[in-house]
Structures are given as structure tokens and as C-alpha cells.
Amino acid sequence: MSVATKIRGGAAKRSAKFRAGRWRSEGDLEKWIRFNTVVRHVRYDNASETFHVQVEDLAKRKLLSSEAFDYVLVASGHFSTPNFPDFPGLNQFPGRVSHSHDFRDASEYAGKRVLAIGGNGSWSEVDAIVFCTGYLHHFPYLDDNLRLKTSNVLYPPNLYKGIVWMGSNGDGSQNGGNRLLYIGMNNLLYTITFLEIEGYWAVKYIIGEVKLPRKQEMVDEWKLWVERSKKIRSVREVPPFQSSYMRYLSGECGYPYDVNVDDLFDEIASHKYGPNQGIITCRDMSFTSKFTGNKSPSKKLPFMEEFDDSLEGFVNVNYEQRGSKL
């Protein structure tokens, strides 16, 4: 049995980082990654039908010469730029004001009265304010006509298949010649699997195994998915919607794994939204793997009492429960 079949769900941050590190080593992928660089500007040249990309070398603090590319994939995510509202008088608050984006260690809040925005209270009763107000889609390096502008919704507008940029007007004009692709712009439920399917579809499209229909069909399709997403009225309706999109996309590109997981989310939803249950107690439950049929080990401590965020703690605690170690 592999490690992946034994460890529980609700991955710690360091375990997620570990998995990302493993992915970049697959197929010698790391040799194609330019570390310590950041993209500063992307524009599309209609004459040459290429994207001109300018990058900054962070170590040398130097802008490098522009390079030309046939395709650009925007896969930088949308959970890094905090949505930080401004309230009148906030600058007069004497304590610390931060966003959940900056949270690293709870020890700095030990013994303090903390207000998470969204609750009730007054500044005279709290020592620190934490904004838990989400994030912004932020792509300052893209020319305006290439830039997706959306809130965190289940299906962003102007994206065919949720991937191919259809232009600011959504009609397929000034869209980078159908070769600007966005990955993971939706409000995600499935996250890793979702991103992998979109990436798989993008690769199949780039190498010519997935073909685009007529422009008007592309426009009609993205609008249909947006309208479907707007009809969702409860959290329970989100898994079926997003899983239907995943099945649709995976079927078209030949994604090699079964993504029909509605039954699994029915089980999770019963813990999240059932009587006397919630998003916190859900993290204390064990769930069965769709691929192995094995149930994940139980946790020694409730989620709200578990402060070990290390990879070793995440994996080995559960191995000890099964009588073996990593």
C-alpha cells in the first residue's frame, strides 16, 4: 500500500508543499523552471501572432529582454493578493490589523481578544483585527485586453471551457489568438484534481489533440456555464455543478482517471451540513478513498486542538495508529 493511501485527508501546509515538490521532479520538469524570476509584462502581437513576455531576474534585480512565445498559460492562482477592505477610522485602531493571508503563527495572538471581520464587537473590546475577506484575481503583468477581471465565482466569464481567454468582451476578439489559457480561475472545491484536469486539457489543446469549435459556439458555451453557475442557491449544489464540469472536460481531453466522485461528496456533505455538524467537525472524520477503497486513519486529536503543522506529524501520527511507521 502506498503512502498516499494511508494518510488522512485535510493535508497540512507542509505536506501540500511536499507534494508540489514531487510534481516538479516528475519527467525532469524542474529543468524548465526558472527560479527567482517574476513575469512583469505580457502582451500579444497580432502581426507575429506571438506573446512577448518580459521577466525580471530577482537575484540581479534586472529586467531581461522580452521573449516570444506561441502560448501563455496563466496558472499563478488567485489566492495570493488579499482582498483588504478599507473602513473609515480603521487607521485609528491602536492594535494590529492584518489579513488571514499573513497568518503564520497563532502565538502572536495568545491571550489577546481577536476580532475576525464578519463577527460582532467593538475596538474597545479587542486587541487585534484579522480580515478573513478572501482574495483578488490579480494579474498586473498582463496587458489590459488579456486580463481576466472577475470575482471568486464558480465559473468566471469570458473563458471557453473555463480556460481559453475569449477577450474582455467575451466575443473572441482581441483574445490572443485563442492561445492565452487560464488555469484554476474558478472558486475551487476539488482543487488539485480540478487543476490537473484543466492542465491536461490545455496540453491536449496545445499539441492539437483537442480542437476548438466555431467562435460563436465557444461564446455560447461559456455563457451557458456562467448561467448555470448563477442558478446555484446552496452550498450543497456546488459539488454536482463542479463535478459535472470536471467530467465534461476530462471526457473531451481523455483524462485517464475516473472523476465521478459525487457519491464521495455526498458523504462529506452529510458531515459538513448535517445536524450538529459543520466545517470543523468534518475535518475530524475519516473518509474512504475512491481508488483504493481504504478508509483513512482517524486523528488522535480534534482539528481544533492539532497544532503540529509538520510533514512528519501529518504522516507518522497516522502510521503509528496502524502499527507501522514511514
For residue 107, the domain's CATH number is: 3.50.50.60
Closest-CA residue to 220 (of 257, 172, 180, 268): 172
Predicted pLDDT at 3: 36
What is the Cβ-side half-sphere exposure of residue 284, based on CA atoms within 13 angstroms? 12
Q: What is the mean pLDDT of residues 295-301?
A: 77
Does 267 map to a domain?
no
Q: Examine the domain organization and report whether 223 and 303 are in the same domain.
A: no
Q: Is residue 269 part of a domain?
A: no
R_g over Cα of the chain: 22
pTM for the model stands at: 0.82
pLDDT at 225: 98
Question: Is residue 323 one of the residues assigned to a domain?
Answer: yes
Q: Do 110 and 129 belong together in one domain?
A: yes
3-state secondary structure of 114: strand
Shortest CA distance to 181 belongs to which of 142, 140, 128, 229?
Answer: 142
Q: Are 241 and 154 in contact (CB under 8 A)?
A: yes
Question: Which of 260, 291, 306 marks a domain boundary?
Answer: 260
Grid cell listed for 255: 483524462
Q: Residue 106: what pLDDT?
A: 80
User: Cell numbers at residue 254, please?
Assistant: 481523455
Please indicate, yes or no, if residue 126 is contained in any of the structural domains.
Answer: yes
Q: What is the pLDDT of residues 8-49, one digit of tens each?
A: 455 555 566 666 666 766 777 888 889 999 999 999 999 999
Quick one: 256 and 300 in the same domain?
A: no
The pLDDT value recorded for residue 297 is 78
Residues 6+ apart with CB under 8 A from 150: 137, 156, 157, 158, 185
In three-state secondary structure terms, 167 is coil
CA–CA dist 170, 183 (Å, integer): 17
Question: In this structure, are residues 170 and 204 in contact, taking their beta carbons and an 8 Å threshold?
Answer: no
Residue 290 is classified by DSSP as T
Contact 141, 111 (CB under 8 A): no
Instruction: Indicate whether 114 belongs to any domain.
Output: yes
Contact 106, 128 (CB under 8 A): no
Q: Are residues 146 and 174 in the same domain?
A: yes
- Give the list of residues 6+ apart from residue 276 with CB closer than 8 angstroms, or none: none
Q: What is the pLDDT of residue 316?
A: 58
Query: Same domain for 92 and 127?
Result: yes
Residue 228 lies in a domain: yes
Report which of residues 229 and 191 the model is more confident about: 229
Give the pLDDT mean for 82-87. Answer: 85
Task: Please report, to the nearest 10 degrees, the dihedral formed by the alpha carbons of residues 248, 253, 255, 259 taken in order.
Answer: 0
pLDDT at position 4 over 60: no
What angle do the packed helices 215-230 and 238-253 form, to 10 degrees?
Answer: 160
User: By residue range, what is the domain housing residue 125?
Assistant: 83-135
pLDDT at 261 over 50: yes
pLDDT at 88: 86
% residues pLDDT > 90 (the chain): 45
> Does a structural domain hold residue 98?
yes
Does residue 180 lie within any of the structural domains? yes
H/E element holding 312? helix 311-321
Please give the angle made by the CA atoms of 206, 208 and 212, to the nearest 5 degrees: 90
What was the pLDDT predicted at 309?
Answer: 67
Mean pLDDT (whole number) for 270-284: 67
| 167 CA to centre of own chain | 22
Residues 194 and 244 occupy one common structural domain: yes
Same domain, 152 and 249: yes
Q: Give the count of domains, the chain.
A: 4
DSSP 188: -
Q: Are residues 14 and 58 in the same domain?
A: no
